[in-house]
Amino acid sequence: MYNKKPVAENIFHVGVNDRQKSLFENYLPLPEGVAYNSYLIVDEKIALIDTVDVSFADVYFAKINAILKDRTVDYLIVNHMEPDHAGSIGLLKQKYPNITVVGNAKTFDMLKGYFDINTQLHEVKEGDTLTLGKRTLTFYMAPMVHWPEVMVAYESNDNILFSADAFGTFGTNDGDYLDSCINTDKYWDEMRRYYACIVGKYGMPTQNALKKIVALPVKTICSTHGPVWQQELNKVVDLYDKWSRYEAEAEGVVIAFGSMYGNTQQLTEAVAEGVVAGGIKNVVIYNVSKTDTSFILSDIFKYKGLIIGCPTYMGGVYPLVEKLLSSIECRGIKNRLYGCYGSFTWAGAAVKQLTAFAQTMNWELVGNPVENKQAVSGEKYQAGFELGQAMAEKLKALRQ
């Protein structure tokens, strides 16, 4: 009834694809859908690692039944309590009343709060092990990647890391869950967007978790979202390392602008022309009114240069640019080269506030902020061009 090909001998992927939900966490668009992965280890004892969103519990239980027949599940390892994974715990407990839930003290606080479960618990701490028969799991705490109770489990026979959300990505598993069996092109931008929006605030905790992970001889990463990583394992670990250090992936500039009647947009053209004339080819322009903030945030993680422009609106920054600024500030993105520009009709305020954002973020302000009154004059167009050129010069100076 479904592909029961194991991840390793007697370790099965029993996750599901969600092609229905439009918005993850009810705010992040899902153009490629999302997968909720759970894993079943069949040994002398049987263990499930995490569950799936409760909307898919029927499909999930059918997959488990198809493998176990009349055997029962002994342990549920809860690496992460967010309901996209923990959602089916209540139903699982009804189905397997004698199941023991394995987690840490923080897990159990949430387990009681969400499901009123506080019996048959097995608490683990850093480095504790659980033997299932031939296989043994070792637990490592990964707090704030991206919730406080998060932990990972390492299986030492086949060097498999069950990594919770870490190394996860938006995007369903299409036709197979193993990275070597599918074209992984669609995941890289979506993985960065997932990281930027969900984990991005927690760079230091992610670095701390990575230190533990790279010390293990991991050959397979089983995340809770997206493919199981084997072939691309080094790439995903390198990307997580880069993102969590807020280091750009490539040389380039994001220009994000808001514009009500086209004047700030004209300045955007001038700025972009300046960047390209200055010798930088990667310029990504986003109209904040057309593109969801999550995609813009993702490219801000990708590129070192960022230039933001908008009109003054009610004595402040244009609302959708304000949303972008707040998303950036919330994630604490570090070490960006930053410029700004904008326009107004009778009293300018936005450019002053956009300029102050450099200080808020402790970023280097590049070039002169450009503030245009009413229609864009030739002089202001030139100033926009020079702002773009100044950014290009700064980026080129970083070339090795």
Residues at the interface with ligand FEO (CB under 6 A): 80, 82, 84-85, 146, 165, 224-225
Residue whose token pair is 């669609």: 186
Q: How far is the CB of 83 from ligand FEO (least distance, A)?
A: 8
- Residue closer to ligand FEO by CB (options 224, 389) is 224
Closest CA to 179 of 67, 62, 37, 291: 37
Please check whether residue 342 is in contact with residue 353, taking contact to mean a CB–CB distance below 8 angstroms. Answer: no
- Least CB distance to ligand FEO at residue 25 (A): 8
Q: Cα–Cα distance between 142 and 163 in angstroms, integer?
A: 9
Which two tokens mark 122?
């097995």
Nearer to ligand FEO, 225 or 336 (CB): 225
* Residues 352, 305: Cα–Cα separation, whole Å: 20
Least distance to ligand FEO from the beta carbon of 376, Å?
A: 45
User: Closest distance between ligand FEO and the C-beta of residue 143, in Å?
Assistant: 13
Chain position whose Cβ is nearest to ligand FEO:
82
Q: Nearer to ligand FEO by C-beta: 193 or 225?
A: 225
Measured from the CB of residue 312, what is the shortest distance to ligand FEO in angstroms? 38
Quote the least distance from Cβ 150 to ligand FEO, whole Å.
Answer: 8
Burial class (CB in 10 A: 0-12, 13-18, 19+), 160: buried
Tokens found for residue 256 = 């994000």
Residue closer to ligand FEO by CB (options 194, 381) is 194
Report the C-alpha gap between 242 and 206 in whole angstroms: 11
Before 146, cis peptide (omega within 30)?
A: yes
Tell me which DSSP letter residue 55 carries: G
Dihedral sign for Cα atoms in the order 295, 298, 303, 308: positive
Tell me the closest approach of the beta carbon of residue 85 to ligand FEO, in angstroms. 6
Structure tokens at 353: 């506030």
Nearer to ligand FEO, 38 or 265 (CB): 38
Distance CA 388, CA 366 (A): 9
Closer residue to ligand FEO, CB minimum distance, 227 or 311: 227
> 187-194 and 233-244 helices cross at what angle (nearest 10)?
40
Q: Which is nearer to ligand FEO, 80 or 336 (CB)?
A: 80
Closest by CA to 73, choosing from 99, 34, 92, 95, is 99
